[in-house]
Amino acid sequence: MSLQQDIIAKLGVKPHIDVDAEIRKRVDFLKEYVNKAGVDGLLIAISGGLDSAVVAGLCKRATDELTEEKGREFKTVGVFQPYGQQSDIADSYAVAEAFDLKYRVETNIEEAVNEIALEAEYGLKSIGVHKHLSRGGKGNVKARTRMVVQYALAFELNLLVVGTDHSSESLTGFYTKYGDGAVDLTPLSTLNKRQVGQLAERLGVPKSVIDKVPTAGLWEGQTDEQELGVSYGDNNDYLEGKTISDEAREKLEKQYLKTEHKRASIPGI
């Protein structure tokens, strides 16, 4: 078995999907976990990007169906988490409108992130390291701070926190472990980015969101493809078992091997 075949098998990606069947399967998955956990619904942070928009749509379908079936309200809570001013926050709210989300919370993380960064810099200074947090380091603080706030809200509202991880991110390890990778369940995990887009169109995600350049929003002007040096087209093709250029394949496989620790659970002995 080639490394490509091994990766595809581990991540569970299909070369082709039945969009309606995938939506149904994932809505049922969410409903099952809500029932098992005995909670009152789901919480999703809506960034304004494609992945969180699709998850919001799946969550809303799941909680609407549970409300009808159980005869009591189950919530989908959409959380918006800008760092200061977010230039595309209108897209986050457009997603909430598209799915008629009744419950919406905006929590600005800027002050909390800056305080954490300052405390970390004081800690570094105490051991003789005089520096500000790096751009990537502060980006990780943003990701983890967002999760702290999400779990604070979810605890008080008796909700599960839903993540947006999918196979194209898992392939490259393009997430912060126990930052944006710390959630209760991930309904997109066996889909690649192209397939997430197919679900988006069927669910009715706003076109402005579907057409956006993918970004994690960790710093101004950051884009996924620029950061990784590989296009999502090559990423998707690789996960669907297609042949891509040697250069792109080598980059993806090197990134996969380098980030194996991110996909692993906490090791013990």
Each as own residue / partner, the long-range contacts of residues 10-15 (CB below 8 Å, 24 or more positions apart, any chain) are: 11/167, 11/170, 11/171, 11/189, 11/190, 11/239, 12/167, 12/189, 12/190, 13/167, 13/190, 13/191, 13/192, 13/239, 13/240, 14/190, 14/195, 14/240, 15/240, 15/241
Q: Which of 165, 169, 180, 234 is catalytic?
A: 169
Helix (H, G, I), strand (E, B) or coil at 252: helix
Q: Which residues contact 40 (CB under 8 A, 6 or more apart)?
A: 73, 74, 75, 157, 158, 159
Residue 51 annotated to the active site: yes
Tokens at 36, concatenated: 């098992």
Structure tokens at 259: 């980030």
246 CB burial (10 A radius; 0-12, 13-18, 19+):
exposed
Give DSSP secondary structure letters for 12-30. Answer: T--SS--HHHHHHHHHHHH
Catalytic residue (one of 22, 51, 165, 180): 51
CA 16 to chain centre: 22
d(CA 158, CA 41): 7
Residue 71, token pair as written in the block? 């005869």
Question: In the chain, what's the furthest Cα-to-Cα distance?
Answer: 61
Q: What amino acid positions are annotated as catalytic residues?
A: 51, 169
